[in-house]
């Protein structure tokens, strides 16, 4: 049973109705609802009592003032309706949209969806963030079994008692930005007049904590990657240029200017499941990256390698083809997710938990630590904001840069396990791993004898025949051990003469010092 006309006390603006319970309902017209097109009213119920009429009159005046000062919500729409409209008009990348939809559907709709947008306030939003910091599934302290699947099944050890785990701080920030974007539009659409997020405490910012590979790890990664030349070249470019994985997949041959030692990055490859497409870079900016001499030489060798493979199949490389491709003519691009998975598996074999994005961190930190200014690093990485992002993320390395000698990235990179012959053909210097190989044991024993002084500079080394007899191995195995010592400059040999321990210079072997000087001069 509703209120009758005889129960209504009409006034110039607004009305007070007497309800069957004896309570009074104050009702003030507030314009047309922009979402539904219907008349919008502000209402408030006053409990029955001796002061009910006086309280109702105060409420009527307060609601009228809200309308006059445009502080009232213009719609009865709830948060679910706001999010629907927000996503409908949102213009972002496919992957970004998918991420936003996940945060909205998993956290915002279940907890806030049925609330009226006009009733959101600081207390409600602070409580909302508290729930996310307590449990990512919003359990509310209830105990239940987390099943391994939603399908009918026989429970096993994978079905466990639920344990509350907070949502990651970075994820809570993403939820916050989804709400912020939607509520800012709600103000522009005149759905609300005050942004409730201004009354709430925003989630704490995530402290950047990049974990780039150490120089030793970088060397091991390069050695492992170059067991396959195309894969090693991709990893090397990720290290030297700091390009994103999608940008590496999108690289085209005609944008690679080896004569001028420059690489152009114009697009990126996006992926959603099995679907891939070419798109703008993350910051929608094109950039040109200078290449060092070592990288140029490796790219020339890699191009020759690709052309040779294509020629064997009576094909030619497409001039506009991709630098990294699974097709013989390089007409297709690699899938970014496949690149990430292969890199992660490679690092797992090496005993580390790393992603290919860590190589981007490696490039940035090595450049900053070697004295390169932040704006130049930002330009190479494609960071927006004129270096603000770079400075915020890598600030820990900026102070270190003042204490370290200036240099360039090429000098800091580990040596690629590739040699290029005079014709320009790439040849790997890697050898298959041979755990506990006899030649390694012989080389190790001889290195120890040289280090401790048992074999002094100028001393004659045992012959390969003597070593073969002593260690009960073949002459070829003994010769390989001597070749390893010669390669690192510990012994010297010439045609027709016995092998002797190399002379030292300032505590170091002359051959090793000469090799180091030659390498530095070449750089």
325-331-337 Cα angle (round to 5): 40
* Token couple for 421: 């012959």
SS3 for 31? strand
* Token couple for 149: 């699947």
d(CA 430, CA 292): 23
Give me the pLDDT at residue 210, please: 80
Give me the pLDDT at residue 494, please: 72
Residues 34 and 191: beta-carbon distance below 8 Å: yes
Give me the pLDDT at residue 163, please: 87
DSSP assigned state of 206 = P
Residues 292 and 410: beta-carbon distance below 8 Å: yes
Task: List per-residue pLDDT tens for the chain, 523 residues long.
Answer: 455 443 444 446 888 889 888 899 998 887 777 666 778 788 889 998 899 889 988 888 888 887 776 666 667 789 999 999 999 999 888 888 999 999 999 999 999 999 989 888 889 999 999 999 999 888 888 888 888 888 888 888 888 888 889 999 889 999 999 999 999 999 888 888 888 998 888 888 777 778 888 888 999 999 999 999 999 999 999 999 999 999 999 999 999 999 999 999 999 999 988 899 999 888 888 889 999 888 999 999 999 999 999 998 889 998 889 999 999 999 999 999 999 999 999 999 999 999 999 999 888 888 877 777 778 888 888 887 666 777 677 755 555 554 443 344 555 556 566 656 555 666 655 555 454 678 888 888 888 777 767 778 888 888 888 888 888 888 888 888 888 888 878 888 776 678 888 876 544 444 444 444 444 444 4
Q: In which element (H, E) is residue 188 found?
A: helix 169-188
Give me the pLDDT at residue 521, please: 47
DSSP assigned state of 10 = E
DSSP assigned state of 191 = S
d(CA 268, CA 278): 6
Give me the pLDDT at residue 126, please: 93
Closest CA to 125 of 65, 170, 186, 183: 183
Residues 430 and 223: beta-carbon distance below 8 Å: yes
DSSP assigned state of 322 = B
Q: Cβ-count burial of 141 within 10 angstroms (0-12 exposed, 13-18 middle, 19+ buried)?
A: exposed
Residues 463 and 498: beta-carbon distance below 8 Å: yes
Residues 263 and 288: beta-carbon distance below 8 Å: yes
Q: Taken in order 456, 457, 460, 464, is the CA torsion positive or negative? A: positive
**CB-CB neighbours of 125 under 10 Å:** 20
Beta-ladder partners of 505:
508
Give me the pLDDT at residue 5, please: 44
**CB-CB neighbours of 475 under 10 Å:** 13
| DSSP per-residue letters across 423-469 | T--EEE------TT-HHHHHHHHHHHHHHHTSS-TTPBPPPHHHHHH
């Amino acid at each position: 049973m509703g209120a009758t006309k005889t129960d209504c006390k009409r006034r110039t603006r607004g009305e007070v109705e007497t309800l069957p319970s004896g309570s009074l309902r104050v009702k003030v017209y507030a314009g047309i609802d922009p979402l539904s097109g219907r008349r919008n009213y502000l209402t408030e119920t006053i409990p029955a009592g001796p002061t009910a009429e006086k309280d109702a009159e105060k409420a009527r005046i307060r609601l009228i003032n809200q309308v006059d000062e445009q502080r009232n919500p213009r719609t009865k729409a709830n948060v679910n309706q706001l999010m629907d409209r927000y996503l409908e008009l949102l213009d972002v990348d496919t992957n970004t949209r998918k991420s936003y939809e996940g945060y909205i559907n998993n956290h915002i709709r279940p907890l806030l969806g049925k609330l009226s947008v006009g009733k959101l306030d600081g207390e409600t939003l602070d409580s909302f963030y508290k729930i996310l910091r307590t449990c990512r599934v919003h359990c509310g302290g209830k105990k239940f079994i987390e099943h391994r699947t939603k399908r009918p099944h026989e429970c096993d050890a994978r079905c466990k008692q639920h344990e509350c785990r907070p949502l990651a701080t970075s994820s809570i920030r993403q939820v916050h930005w989804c709400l912020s974007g939607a509520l800012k539009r709600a103000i522009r659409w005149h759905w609300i007049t005050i942004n409730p997020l201004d009354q709430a405490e925003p989630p704490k910012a995530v402290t950047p904590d990049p974990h780039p590979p150490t120089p030793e790890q970088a060397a091991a990664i390069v050695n492992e990657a170059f067991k396959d030349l195309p894969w090693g070249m991709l990893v090397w470019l990720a290290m030297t240029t700091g390009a994103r994985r999608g940008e590496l997949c999108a690289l085209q041959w005609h944008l690679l200017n080896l004569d001028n030692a420059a690489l152009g990055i114009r697009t990126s490859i996006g992926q959603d499941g099995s679907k891939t497409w070419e798109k703008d870079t993350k910051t929608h900016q094109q950039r040109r990256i200078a290449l060092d001499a070592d990288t140029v030489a490796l790219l020339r060798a890699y191009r020759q390698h690709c052309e040779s493979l294509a020629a064997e199949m009576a094909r030619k490389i497409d001039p506009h083809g991709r630098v990294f491709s699974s097709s013989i003519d390089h007409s297709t691009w690699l899938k970014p997710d496949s690149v990430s998975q292969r890199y992660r598996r490679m690092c797992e074999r090496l005993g580390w938990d790393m992603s290919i994005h860590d190589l981007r961190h490696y490039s940035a930190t090595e450049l900053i630590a070697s004295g390169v200014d932040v704006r130049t690093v930002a330009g190479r990485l494609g960071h927006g904001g004129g270096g603000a992002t770079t400075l915020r993320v890598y600030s820990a390395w900026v102070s270190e840069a003042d204490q370290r000698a200036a240099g360039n990235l090429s000098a800091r990179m580990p040596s690629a396990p590739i040699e290029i012959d005079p014709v320009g053909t790439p040849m790997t210097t890697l050898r298959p791993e041979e755990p506990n190989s006899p030649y390694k044991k012989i080389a190790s024993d001889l290195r120890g004898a040289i280090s401790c002084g048992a074999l002094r500079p100028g001393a004659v080394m045992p012959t390969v025949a003597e070593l073969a007899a002593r260690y009960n191995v073949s002459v070829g195995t003994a010769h390989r051990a001597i070749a390893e010592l010669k390669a690192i400059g510990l012994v010297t040999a010439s045609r027709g003469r016995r092998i002797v321990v190399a002379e030292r210079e300032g505590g170091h072997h002359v051959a090793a010092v000469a090799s180091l000087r030659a390498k530095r001069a070449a750089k």
